Amino acid sequence: MKQINFLLLMLLIAACAQAQQSPILSVADFEKQIANNSAKVLDVRTPTEFKSGHLAQAILMNINDADFKQQISILQKDKPVYVYCAAGVRSNKAAKVLRQQGFTQVFELRGGIQAWQAAGKPVTR
């Protein structure tokens, strides 16, 4: 019985830890959270992509830059960080790096800026 209780406890802890790691938010949820928060919004695409259109409050930090880890070191690790790219692949990679570096609240935009624009949301050029 103790083994079953221990196993259930471990599964519960693992499920909670996974749920807290990097939620992937819908466009609507992402928009709400960045509007109601003084959180940092990171665009992890290239400078050319950024210039073609980005979220108004976004900061460009290209995930492919050799000094990406150094760039994110200026951010507060205990504050929310919202990440997006074109479609979601690079933002997922960036979110993993952020978590590895000790960031506790990392959120990704599902479908990236492509989903944002498809939903009719504004971008800044």
- 8 CB-contact burial (10 Å; exposed 0-12 / middle 13-18 / buried 19+): exposed
Using an 8 Å Cβ cutoff, are 107 and 83 in contact?
A: yes
Structure tokens given for 19: 């749920």
Residue 66 phi/psi, 5-degree rounding, is -60, -25
Q: Which residue has the tokens 């830059």?
A: 65
State the catalytic residue, choosing from 85, 94, 98, 113: 85
Task: Give the helix/strand (H/E) hosting 42.
Answer: strand 40-43
16 is catalytic: no
Catalytically annotated residues: 85
